Structure 1
Amino acid sequence: MSAPTSAGVPVHSDPPGGSRAVAVWGLGVTVYFVAITYRTSLGVAALDAAERFDINSSALSTFSILQLLVYAGMQIPVGLLVDRLGTKKVLSLGVVLFTAGQFGFAFSESYAAALACRALLGCGDAMTFISVLRLGSRWFPARRGPVIAQIAGLIGMAGNLVTTLVLARVLDAFGWTATFAGSAVGGVLLAVLVVVFLRDHPKGYAVVSPPHLGGGYVRRQILRAWREPGTRLGMWVHFTTQFPGMVFLLLWGMPFLVAGQGLDRATAGELLTLIVLSNMAVGLVFGQVIARHHAARAPLALGTVAMTAGVWAAVLLWPGHSPMWLLALLCAVLGACGPASMIGFDFARPANPPERQGTASGIVNMGGFTASMTTLLAVGVLLDLTGGSFRAGFASIFVLEALGVVQILRLRKRAHRRERERIVASRVEAVHVPVSR
């Protein structure tokens, strides 16, 4: 029970869900799906990009580093904008920006121009996922939050599937410009659909936002979200779990499997596809488990980190080329990294009220992309310094995982205690606030 609004609908009551919610949210998730295909398109074109622009490993990694730097840097501003302006406006701008970036990348002839286009793409991409999370929280009941978030991540990973299965083959058949320009056409159509059909929330379920986006509002939003232990724990969970799979899919997986393990591109593409399929399967399982057992959040996240570190250690320590079964196991385990990173949002969501969800999600989302950006740079630099040793390059993964685990263990009990306090307080408030007539 909550205080009534002037329209007679409780401000913080759960949205009803239903078929219209699925349709509107589905359109938002489609935007995220397309953004993922654009984001990961360089992963299957890394070798082609190195040849096209005549660059070394460090310069090649700069493409993805810059893209993720822009993405990570935009997370809190985007979260604030989503809280203030709503999903539709922010998502519409995002579609325009990442489509323009993909078109520009298709026709880039110089390294500098291509970098600028990837930065533009990263800016648009940054506006998608937080918007989709906000859309889900405004159209579906809170109890469905973990499942809805995991399904959004699952559909986004299907964009990776399109990249590895379709885009790689189109690139081989039609070349650079036709492939990237052709993929960008979908963004134009999507922009029209978002403007015409997307709605921020069901009628009568608007969240009251502060009237001004001044400096005081921005500072308060960020500080209040950051002070919640659940927000910080969510950020570190995202930081620790996401980056091993992201780095592999976004850039270094194909070069590692082809140049480092001696596989042909077709076989390497199949292994990258295994990561995506594993991600989709694990995401469904994690979403259902967390929806029923909130206490499973931290064990699932830490278990994924332990498995990732263990399998990577086996691959890097194996003398010579690793056997196919071990590479397949590595890719299956890397597929769990994406669903595990979504658990970070499940810590931040109950720690913050609806009007602060976008800001909190932005803080959480910065975690994994900051780690990914750092690792992309470290792998590229170490490859150049060691003459192409992937063992040295991927050893950087363990440093960031160790840092993240320490922070998760430090914040875990504090966030759990604060979450229980909020639940008790909400129950007391529900008893004392009258129901609207």
Structure 2
Amino acid sequence: MTGAQQLHNIGRRRAYVIWATALAVYVLAVFHRTSLGVAGLLAAERFDISGSQLATFTVLQLAVYAGMQIPVGVLLDRFGSKALIISGLVAMTAGQLWFATADSFAMGLGARALIGAGDAMVFTSVLRLIALWFLVRQAPVITQLTGMVGQMGAVAAAIPLSAALHAWGWTMTYATAGFLGVVGILGIFLVAKDSPYERGAVEKIKIRALRDSLGQVWRDPGTRLGFSVHFTTQFAPTVFALLWGFPFLVAGQGLTPGQASALLTWMTFVALFAGPTIGRWTGRHPYYRSLMALVLVGAISLVWAIVLALPTQSPLWLLIVLVSVTAVGGPGSLIAFDLARSFHRSERYGRASGMVNMGGFVASLTTMALVGIILDQIAPGGPQTYTLDNFRIAMSSQFLLWGFGAWMIWRYHQRSLDLVAESPGAMDALRRGYTLLPGISRDPDEG
């Protein structure tokens, strides 16, 4: 925005009103994203589908979300946040209304894909509004609040949605959820403004130059380290909350639907409180961010190993520990974006963030599919026949991704440190607690 005329004050009342309106949309997007979590068994019955087909709903939704990250970033720079948020709301509203009336597997797939496409446009658009409308010292706090408050959508998609499904039925529940998007569209249209600065000429998208720059960003070891951290830490809570957690707790561990919904809600609250703690620690000790990620992965995999190794159903207290530790992987995955920021200058951060964000969703998609395929093989009778032994085998597939991801983290941790060591003063700055590194993430004229 250098050289653009400033038309409005930043960091003041208007900024907070715009942010609050966009934040409400993000909460709704998280709700739509996680709205199948407590309805997995009902969906299997409604569409008469197998476990792998049930997994396909969420796999396809997240595949669309992940695949659109880089295109959305390019479109965001060209058209601005307001246009993309409205487009995302239109897609999510149409998708949820379609899902409410869908009566076949194919129609359900189309609806979830549309929801994933709309969801992909929201979060990065909100982050762009924060970057433009708030002061540099305000933006990190507002970003953290955005992530925390956004998780209220997951809370609404647990107990309240479960209660609505049993009280109103499938069609009325999802149709009501869909119509909430109309309110969001009206709010963004009336309140949101892309930037406090005068809008310059629209930048043309040069495909060849974009392709070359994406290759450069991906080859950077900092990008691959961030991708690896996000890949390894994010998939367990995502898979659990979005698809397989509810069936695992009800069909495998013998909990009631109410108890399972309460545990999924508890996961969200754990993530809310864990986020600021992890953020403060990594901010003070950036040199150890990769090691912190490995510690989190080790803790999550250890608790899962204990639960899956028990010959009988786990006591409630142990399941509470399981979901609590698993939930920490969500805020822990945000370490990945901080790593990307340390290895890229500002003009490349958006592309790097898009690539990093794909890591966790690639792992989530893989795990969801693996669990569904395994369940189909060992429980061909469908979700109504799932047992604890079936889930014990299927959920063990997570260890493959934890092991591979931990190896990737360690590998690119070493390569990224080699890159830091090549730039004078960067290693000392990293050890002293700086995340913007001389010669790496700082612009040349910043010294």
- TM-score, with length taken from structure 1: 0.90
- Stretch deviating more after TM superposition (233-242 or 128-137): 128-137
Alignment-derived partner of residue 90 in structure 1:
84
**Aligned-partner SS, 1:5:** coil
**Correspondence for 1:165 among 159, 171, 182:** 159
**Correspondence for 1:31 among 25, 28, 31:** 25
The 5 Å alignment of 1:261-300 reads 261-300=253-292
- Change beyond 3 A, Cα 1:86–1:350: farther
**Correspondence for 2:340 among 345, 348, 351:** 348
- Change beyond 3 A, Cα 1:140–1:294: farther
User: Is 1:5–2:21 an aligned residue pair?
Assistant: no
Equivalent residues of 1:147, 1:288 under 8 A apart:
no
Letter in 2 for 1:424: P
- Change beyond 3 A, Cα 1:18–1:241: farther
Shift in Å at residue 312 of structure 1?
A: 0.4
- Stretch deviating more after TM superposition (52-61 or 281-290): 281-290
- Stretch deviating more after TM superposition (316-325 or 349-358): 349-358
- Change beyond 3 A, Cα 1:17–1:402: farther
Equivalent residues of 2:159, 2:258 under 8 A apart:
no
User: Is 1:304–2:318 an aligned residue pair?
Assistant: no
Once the two structures are superposed, residues 264-298 of structure 1 have per-residue CA deviations (whole angstroms, 9 ceiling, x without a partner) of 11111111111111011111222333344433532
**Aligned-partner SS, 1:423:** coil
Equivalent residues of 2:264, 2:323 under 8 A apart:
yes
Letter in 2 for 1:67: Q
- TM-score, with length taken from structure 2: 0.88
**Aligned-partner SS, 2:333:** helix
For residues 213 and 94 of structure 1, the distance between their equivalents in structure 2, rounded to whole angstroms, comes to 21
Alignment-derived partner of residue 445 in structure 2:
429
**Correspondence for 2:323 among 328, 331, 345:** 331
For residues 140 and 281 of structure 2, the distance between their equivalents in structure 1, rounded to whole angstroms, comes to 9
Unmatched 5+ residue regions in structure 2?
A: 380-385, 428-435
Shift in Å at residue 231 of structure 1?
A: 2.1
For residues 136 and 231 of structure 1, the distance between their equivalents in structure 2, rounded to whole angstroms, comes to 23
For residues 349 and 84 of structure 1, the distance between their equivalents in structure 2, rounded to whole angstroms, comes to 22
**Aligned-partner SS, 1:400:** helix
For residues 239 and 144 of structure 1, the distance between their equivalents in structure 2, rounded to whole angstroms, comes to 29
**Aligned-partner SS, 1:44:** coil
Letter in 1 for 2:392: R
Once the two structures are superposed, residues 390-420 of structure 1 have per-residue CA deviations (whole angstroms, 9 ceiling, x without a partner) of 0111111111111111111111244354483
Equivalent residues of 1:151, 1:283 under 8 A apart:
no
Alignment-derived partner of residue 55 in structure 2:
61
**Aligned-partner SS, 2:36:** helix
Alignment-derived partner of residue 412 in structure 2:
411
Matched pairs, number: 422
Alignment-derived partner of residue 207 in structure 2:
215
User: Is 1:228–2:236 an aligned residue pair?
Assistant: no
User: Is 1:260–2:252 an aligned residue pair?
Assistant: yes
Shift in Å at residue 147 of structure 1?
A: 4.2
Higher relative contact order (CA 8 A, sep 6+): 1
The 5 Å alignment of 1:142-153 reads 142=136, 147-153=141-147
**Correspondence for 2:75 among 67, 72, 81:** 81
Equivalent residues of 1:151, 1:284 under 8 A apart:
no
**Aligned-partner SS, 1:203:** coil
Identity %: 44
For residues 22 and 292 of structure 1, the distance between their equivalents in structure 2, rounded to whole angstroms, comes to 28
Alignment-derived partner of residue 435 in structure 1:
none
Q: Report the aligned-residue RMSD.
A: 2.4
Equivalent residues of 2:345, 2:443 under 8 A apart:
no
Letter in 1 for 2:82: K
Equivalent residues of 2:222, 2:340 under 8 A apart:
yes
Once the two structures are superposed, residues 153-188 of structure 1 have per-residue CA deviations (whole angstroms, 9 ceiling, x without a partner) of 222221110111211111110000110000111111
Once the two structures are superposed, residues 188-223 of structure 1 have per-residue CA deviations (whole angstroms, 9 ceiling, x without a partner) of 11112112222233336x7x8882112123213412
Equivalent residues of 1:83, 1:356 under 8 A apart:
no
Shift in Å at residue 78 of structure 1?
A: 1.1
For residues 401 and 345 of structure 2, the distance between their equivalents in structure 1, rounded to whole angstroms, comes to 31
Once the two structures are superposed, residues 240-259 of structure 1 have per-residue CA deviations (whole angstroms, 9 ceiling, x without a partner) of 11110000110111110110
Once the two structures are superposed, residues 28-75 of structure 1 have per-residue CA deviations (whole angstroms, 9 ceiling, x without a partner) of 222221011111111111111111111111111111111111111111
Letter in 2 for 1:332: S
